Amino acid sequence: MTSRKPPSRPARSGRPGRPRGPRRDRDERRAELLDAAERAIRRVGPHASMDEIAAEAGITKPILYSHFGDKAGLVHGLAGRVAGQLNRAVSDALSSAGEPAEVVSSTIEAFCTFIESEPELYRFLVQSARYEADNAGPRLMSDIGSEIAVTLGSALRQAGADSGAAEPWAFAIVGMVFGGAGWWLERRSMSKADLVGYLSQLLWTGLAGAGLDRLEQRAPGAEAAPPERPRIVAVPDHLAPPGD
């Protein structure tokens, strides 16, 4: 009786268990998922759910959770990205050459322009911060507030003023501008230019009173001009004290 050979199996290509393609970098994948989250929020609005965000990314919700843990983790990731975008805009405004009042105005305009261009994303982050344990609002304020505190402290010292209040003032400025811009976003009862003008007027009045109005416009890298010596003015004869 002739024994039959077992059927031959097709040869496997490569090593067992090896992925078919190159492994995706996890940070790169997270960035793509954040891109999808932003698209979903812009399309659906600030109430976008994890299901809608996963659908926009073309994945299941468990895969989305595997990257961020929960919705709070996703919000935290988005807040970090938005804070980076705002920080770049604010840094450009703070480092621009010009009179201090002009720098204040351009910095406030950078805030308002971002909120105007990304209203749904702004609403999503603020709304999520009210209900999630890992607040996105404080993350935004801390990153931007720290940036302003450094610049404000340096300006106060340059003006010969007390810089001890730079950090609390910086965080108060961020809160004021976010609050005012958020109000404007819902009401739209004035132009953005008017809003920036009103907030700048209020803020500059306080900063000027603290001594920043003593700063002079200088080109970047230029040395400060030496203080002007007091001029000696001749006293008219009829006002001079009588001689001995």
pLDDT at residue 55, rounded to an integer: 95
Which segments of the chain does DSSP mark as H helices, in order? Answer: 26-44, 50-57, 61-68, 71-94, 100-117, 119-131, 136-158, 166-187, 192-209
The answer to whether residues 62 and 134 belong to one domain is no
112-149 pLDDT tens trace:
998 899 899 888 877 765 555 455 555 667 778 888 89
Domain membership of residue 182 as a residue range? 80-214
Closest of 46, 172, 63 to residue 118, by C-alpha: 46
pLDDT at residue 231, rounded to an integer: 39
Mean pLDDT of the chain: 79
pLDDT at 71 over 50: yes
Indicate the range of 28-32, 39-43, 232-236 predicted with least confidence.
232-236
Rg of the chain over CA atoms, in angstroms?
Answer: 29
In a domain, 125, yes or no: yes
Indicate the range of 61-70, 107-116, 129-138, 190-199 predicted with least confidence.
129-138
Compute CA distances 170 → 167, 226, 237, whole Å: 5, 30, 55
Confidence of residue 36 (pLDDT cuts 50, 70, 90): very high
The answer to whether residues 169 and 61 belong to one domain is no
CATH of the domain at 96: 1.10.357.10
Residue 13's SS3 state is: coil
pTM of the model: 0.68
Locus of tokens 């010009």: 98
In a domain, 226, yes or no: no
pLDDT at residue 147, rounded to an integer: 83
The answer to whether residues 61 and 114 belong to one domain is no
